[in-house]
Chains A and B, each alone.
Chain A
């Protein structure tokens, strides 16, 4: 009915109605319900004359749809994306620096999360939710093999020792249960490597993002450690475990793995008995204690014809109340410090652990062409763990290609 009404109004031209389009990334049902049934109606009520058209785009399809809409010039006024996309869009002038708008909100409460969307000193993203990668393990399996379920591993060596104890093999020597299951391809492989790299005291680039550093001594150390984890004879993870609809923690294929909070929410809903046996280890330490955290948030399109209303929507959707509801829906990490004591966090010890470990958070580098660099690196990491190249050789090859993608 409302749609017909808006259409009629638009046709007779009486309303000075403005329409803004907003793309949310991800299609979690709880998020869609919250936005469609609560946030947008409340916003439209508070801002008469503004019509918000929301679309939920699956993460995997987001780049495709954005690229096409930029090419044709009909990109949404507001869109959600991961922080690592900031540099690319900012360098191309596709998004607006938000510094002048940010004076209107309580930026202190966002703390350091606002810096994730920073490029060349300007802030482009208002964070909505976060994810971190921590070691999650099955307490019951720890007990079974004589490990103390209340003393999770904290260093590379203790993790490897525990994983070896937890690994079981069949008669032909194939791993039946991985002590520590790792993805051996793609973004997940790169993300685990990133954490190890930082733990070894290394980094992808220098501070100005001009010089490639991951092929240095710390990078090689991190990759060599990964090779150990995947070693066919003495390793703790099989190569090439494919995606499965059921988490390996549930099927018993894995005793430990690196997970983001979303993964655990799924287990909580479908297999509550297994969920009760899970615990989270603190961020690992080699030289440094560090792990990957990344936030996703809203960006404001530079071509938006109604930037004032678009910003108003961002401001409204990232109010403390709305962020609380949004993060409670899927059990994500809220970007606001004030929400650390919210009831959905307090009732969720696993989420609490993720929030506590945010003090060790490091983000992926914010450079243009990051997606491509990430893929180049993943391919070479994969070669190294399959034994097709030495750690040094794989990283050198990756570094050479990545250098060509860095802005001059």
Chain B
């Protein structure tokens, strides 16, 4: 078969060219800005600084703190998300078909906007008349300082984020579960394996590709978290919810430090990329 070389370009060029000017160009410009001092309100434009911004970031305890907060957030959200999503998927897989209409309900939190969801949870977490503390009170538990205690605020954001993501990931797991042939599991049971052993040694390994996907998309979205802490806690109390996303926003739009904000963004991108790559490599070695 004769392959016409140019035949591929009508498919690829429009999309790639578009990305070049809406994504690549701004990213390269931001990369340039990360080596400069640039305050949008200033008239002079960017001033070349070399590696100063990066040097500042690596020695700034605030940046280290924000990275730690972000990492803690990600490493709490992702495993919880997987556990609940998988549990829900297993339940849905075994539940009566009449309940399949409920799947739409599980999706609603993940397709509603982050700002809307944050507003809703701000009401839920309201200390005296919020739904959650009212429910706690009804069963005799004291009011929880959901967002006001520096030891609790990040966990409260984690709970909300997990609530938001479980439905989405559960459906992905569900689809994968339905592709596992019943006779594979049956063979295990014939050999005397318990339900748990069937899950642990047959189902779970077969779900590995899905888990990788959930982990990588989870890394990208949790490490960039901005809207929830910005709307709900403004990064407090005691900076306990100041994620890197919040820090970048402050630098760029409140302090007029666009250069530093760009450098922080690339630092974050490198961290995300490294973690995602690590994950891929681990799988490649395993499989």
Q: Do chains A and B touch in the complex (CB under 8 A)?
A: yes
A interface list, Cβ under 8 A from B: 63-64, 66-68, 70-71, 88-89, 92-94, 172, 174, 184-186, 238-246, 251, 253, 369, 371-372, 375, 379, 382-383, 386, 388
Query: How many residue pairs at the A-B interface have CB separations less than 8 Å?
Result: 83
Given A92-B42, A185-B237, A243-B122, 10 other A-B contacts at CB below 8 A? Answer: A66-B41, A92-B43, A186-B236, A239-B149, A253-B127, A375-B254, A382-B236, A383-B238, A386-B237, A386-B238
B42/A371 in contact, CB under 8 A: no
Q: Is the CB of A241 within 8 A of B41?
A: no
Pairs across A and B, CB under 8 Å, 15 listed? A63-B253, A67-B252, A67-B253, A67-B256, A68-B40, A88-B41, A92-B41, A93-B43, A174-B143, A240-B145, A242-B146, A244-B126, A375-B255, A382-B236, A386-B150
Contact B42 A382 (CB under 8 A): no
Chain A residues with CB under 8 A of B125: 242
Residues of A within 8 A of B250 (CB): 375
- The reply to whether A382 and B255 form a contact with Cβ atoms under 8 Å apart is no
User: Distance (Å) between the CB of B234 and the closest chain A CB?
Assistant: 6
**What is the interface of chain B, defined by CB distance below 8 A to chain A?**
39-43, 122-123, 125-129, 142-143, 145-150, 233-234, 236-239, 250, 252-256, 258
Question: Given that A245-B126, A372-B254, A375-B254 are known contacts, is A388 also in contact with B43, CB under 8 Å in the complex?
Answer: no
Nearest CB in chain B: distance from A242 CB, A:
5
Known A185-B237, A253-B128, A386-B238; judge A240-B149 contact (CB<8 A): yes
A371 cross-chain contacts in B, Cβ below 8 A = 254-255
Q: Closest residue to A67 on the B side, CB-wise?
A: B40
Inter-subunit contact B234/A172 (CB<8 Å): no
CB distance from A26 to the nearest CB of B (A): 18
Residue of B nearest to A303 (CB): B43
A63-B254 contact, Cβ under 8 Å, with A184-B237, A242-B147, A244-B126: yes
The complex places the Cα of A245 from the Cα of B143 at a distance, in Å, of: 18
Question: Assuming A251-B129, A379-B239, A386-B238, is B41 touching A70 (CB within 8 A)?
Answer: yes
CA distance A88 to B41 in the complex (A): 9
Q: Which residues of B contact A238 (CB under 8 A)?
A: 148
Contact present for A186 and B234 (CB under 8 Å): yes
Tell me, rounded to whole Å, the shortest Cβ–Cβ distance linking B64 to chain A: 15
CA distance A157 to B236 in the complex (A): 30
